[in-house]
Structure 1
């Protein structure tokens, strides 16, 4: 237990060095999931152990504390892509219910950020922020297709620098190649990875945002032309109403899981807007508001006879009249 407390104090010291604007007591409470009294004790212990810790001047009422750099030699060769990859991996671990491993990985990221020189962090932070916004979302578990690393590298460069790209895009059924020039905005990770982008045309400012399946992209080329990113576009908010990647108007969805499958279904978050209610007979009612009925139907097939669609009728029509007698997901 003493070692655990020591580890937390070391981690707090690293967090205080990594946070250029300093940490408040509220920050410590939230990051370490502790009470205000414990946060105060942790802060005081770090200040006592590290005399170079000082209070950071700020315009808000909350006091902030920071541990000045210099205690750790800066690491060389760290990039925004490296930090974004660590953050994405931690988010994936959390979605797989591996919270402890995610905390450990984010601890590694904090150690790296704490060890970098301030000037280097000032150069990296804008790119890291752009990548975190573009990639840190909608990561669903499941198999992933093999995609050349160069494809991601080029698209990441385009997102960071707001540059257009051109590529050949194959139709999923016909396989016919067609040229596309787009304005890349971000990625959607899942069973198939997608590029989220706008077609570049005369009405580009009002062009709808589209999903392009990454395995169907070939001959990708970065263009010298820049574009202005819409400051009001938020990728997380854009995908929130969808169950998958199909662009449909969201509808009210109600599923009922059998008493046998209810304990397992409670472990899943099917959609961020969902609510769950236990039935008198041990069943579980799950409600949410989203589009993407076809992907819902594909997912529901994995639950077999253990799930019933109460709404909408359009989703019920996509399923066979008699669901297979498969067991519920483990």
Structure 2
């Protein structure tokens, strides 16, 4: 058997080790082969892995399955994969998501337990070298404060979903007061915001609650049904950052100078953006969103290398604050 075919056979064994196994159609799609080749691959699978099982599923499709214990030792994690887990863990901790960081840390421990002894030392050594080389990837700057008990309550309420009781001080409140929130999700940025409906408000609008301003939080036993038509990603994408204001929502057009265009082209300012490069080298970015103040904060860093074409209200907000003496671009 050639090296390439051996690699393909291991790939197939990995596919076949899932709960439902693998079908001929899935093999054809994964390897870009014809039915006859897929059949030969299942025959090779049965020859190499003697305890391969075949069965017909509820849809009448024949499937092959290899017990996971037989293929696990062939797929020990690589050093760069383990290092990526460590980087993700550090990012979660810096973003104040201590509960999620603990869960990822637990996953890392389970991976260590499942890793073959003979490969662990090599992976650990390579991982240490990678992390040392990636030290520059740590994100500096301010980070949101976190309260592990508040974070745990939010996580429990989101999983329910259960009504969340919080002691919260809004910007107009003289003191914190109790609120009962139906939570829908978290927006992560310079600060964290819980998105949900306040049961004391009858308008049913989604509101944002700063996690750092929750003095206490408790997941109640009061289950609620989330609105079927609510799409959290679509909701989040209506804003440039985290602030939502329907009065500001609309088309946003920024034109970057030829000097700034190469830098701007490497940014994704909004998931729904489109871009167009003009003959003079300038770059025009278009998207639909609200949150003019957060846009101003970002646009300031570009100095006089960006022009706000639309909306006019945003153009007026930034006009007097576009400096020409910044030595670099974002």
Structure 2 CA distance, aligned partners of 1:201 and 1:53?
A: 59
Structure 1 CA distance, aligned partners of 2:318 and 2:228?
A: 40
Match of 1:317 in 2: 316
Pairing partner for 1:239 from 236, 241, 247? 236
Structure 2 CA distance, aligned partners of 1:29 and 1:257?
A: 46
**Residues 71 and 179 of structure 1, relative CA distance in 2, 3 Å threshold:** same
**Residues 284 and 16 of structure 1, relative CA distance in 2, 3 Å threshold:** farther
User: C-alpha deviations, 1:25-77, integer Å up to 9, x for none?
Assistant: 897899xxx87249x78x7676765455556645679986544334378xxxx
Pairing partner for 2:211 from 214, 221, 224? 214
User: C-alpha deviations, 1:71-96, integer Å up to 9, x for none?
Assistant: 378xxxxxxxxxxxx7x949x89xxx
Count of residues paired in the alignment = 269
Match of 1:269 in 2: 268
Structure 2 CA distance, aligned partners of 1:5 and 1:150?
A: 52
What RMSD, in angstroms, separates the aligned Cα atoms of the two structures?
4.2
Match of 2:119 in 1: none
Larger radius of gyration: 2
State which drifts further: 146-155 or 299-308. Answer: 146-155
User: C-alpha deviations, 1:86-112, integer Å up to 9, x for none?
Assistant: 7x949x89xxxxxxxxxxx9xx99x96
**Residues 146 and 21 of structure 1, relative CA distance in 2, 3 Å threshold:** farther
Q: 1:248: Cα distance to partner?
A: 2.2
What secondary structure, in the 3-state scheme, does the structure 1 residue paired with 2:280 have?
coil
Q: Is the 8 A contact 1:168 1:178 kept in 2?
A: yes
Match of 2:198 in 1: 199
Match of 1:77 in 2: none
Q: Is the 8 A contact 1:172 1:216 kept in 2?
A: no
Match of 2:292 in 1: 293
Q: 1:164: Cα distance to partner?
A: 1.2
- Structure 1 residue ranges without an equivalent (≥5): 74-85, 94-104, 116-139
Structure 1 CA distance, aligned partners of 2:28 and 2:275?
A: 29
**Residues 63 and 322 of structure 1, relative CA distance in 2, 3 Å threshold:** farther
State yes or no: 1:185 paired with 2:181.
no
Q: 1:192: Cα distance to partner?
A: 0.9
Structure 2 CA distance, aligned partners of 1:12 and 1:327?
A: 54
State yes or no: 1:256 paired with 2:255.
yes
Q: 1:150: Cα distance to partner?
A: 2.5
TM-score, normalised by the number of residues in structure 1: 0.65
Structure 1 CA distance, aligned partners of 2:28 and 2:319?
A: 50
Structure 2 CA distance, aligned partners of 1:27 and 1:143?
A: 47
Match of 1:147 in 2: 146
- Structure 2 residue ranges without an equivalent (≥5): 73-84, 93-103, 115-138
Q: 1:319: Cα distance to partner?
A: 0.8
Q: Is the 8 A contact 1:257 1:265 kept in 2?
A: yes
1:1-330 to 2 correspondences below 5 Å: 13-14=13-14, 16-17=16-17, 19-22=18-21, 36-37=32-33, 49-53=48-52, 57=56, 66-71=65-70, 89=88, 143-172=142-171, 176-201=175-200, 203=202, 207-249=204-246, 250-325=249-324, 326-330=326-330
Q: Is the 8 A contact 1:24 1:62 kept in 2?
A: yes
Match of 1:118 in 2: none
Structure 2 CA distance, aligned partners of 1:12 and 1:152?
A: 41
State which drifts further: 64-73 or 294-303. Answer: 64-73
Q: Is the 8 A contact 1:257 1:285 kept in 2?
A: yes
